Amino acid sequence: MLSALLGAHPPRLPAAALVRVGALFDIAEGTVRVALSRMVSAGDLAYTGGEYELTDRLRRRQTRQDQSRAPRTRNWRGRWEIAVVTAERRPPAERVAFRQTMADLHLAELRAGTWLRPDNLSRQRPDPVREQCAFFTGRPDGDPAALAASLWDLTAWSSRATELLAALDEAEGLAGRFMVSAAVLRHLLADPLLPPELLAPDWPGTALRDRHARFDESFQSMLRGHLVMAG
């Protein structure tokens, strides 16, 4: 249900349409409606005027998802963005939320309280991050490509991206296409978005985005046709 809403613009669908999404995977209508009610109770969805819509937290995820499909990057000049945590010790829940926010900013933790990445992204830093960190730029003494490889598992990301490229070509049926598209979007969110200078020549990030963009056009058309039948 959430994947369907994350792919909808605006992220709002009637209950009947979400029931039809469940039917793609042989999920009974009653089960779908119970799940929707629980997501409303959990604060993930709001129910207004006969439609379910994402609440603010998941709308922010949708924004990140959309940005991951067409990331805003700039030419890299060798500098790294460095964030040093300066805030006092925080409660566990706040620390978990902070770490997730730093990951959403595509920063990696070098050591406790020190986060960094190549300075090639154009994005806003949320207020909680700016309040808890001091930011600097600098250049590593050693090989920046080796540093990047130590911060992110580039081999695993590349391998999974290659698998997903093949899956996009092989996907059949609306349910199969739905699952593959959702998997690609999740994977793109985890792309460290490094500058080309730090990546292997055959890095599949751009190929996966381009292939998914073409795939998504036909998939969304098919999905809209399926959901219209809910009216």
Q: pLDDT digit string (tens) for 149-162? A: 999 999 999 999 99
Q: pLDDT digit string (tens) for 172-205? A: 999 999 999 999 999 999 999 999 999 999 999 9
CATH code assigned at 34: 1.10.10.10
Residues 128 and 103 in one domain: yes
Residues 157 and 217 in one domain: yes
Would 70 be classed as within a structural domain? no
Query: What pLDDT score does 114 carry?
Result: 97
Percentages (nearest 5) of helix, strand, coil residues in the chain: 55, 15, 30
Would 12 be classed as within a structural domain? yes
Would 216 be classed as within a structural domain? yes
Would 72 be classed as within a structural domain? no
Would 199 be classed as within a structural domain? yes
Work out the end-to-end distance of the chain between its first and last CA atoms, rounded to an integer number of angstroms.
17
Band of pLDDT at residue 231, cut at 50, 70 and 90: low
Query: What pLDDT score does 166 carry?
Result: 98
Split into its structural domains, the chain has a count of: 3
Residues 161 and 224 in one domain: yes
Tokens in use for 150? 């130590």
Q: What's the average model confidence in pLDDT over 99-119?
A: 96
pTM: 0.90
* DSSP code, position 73: B
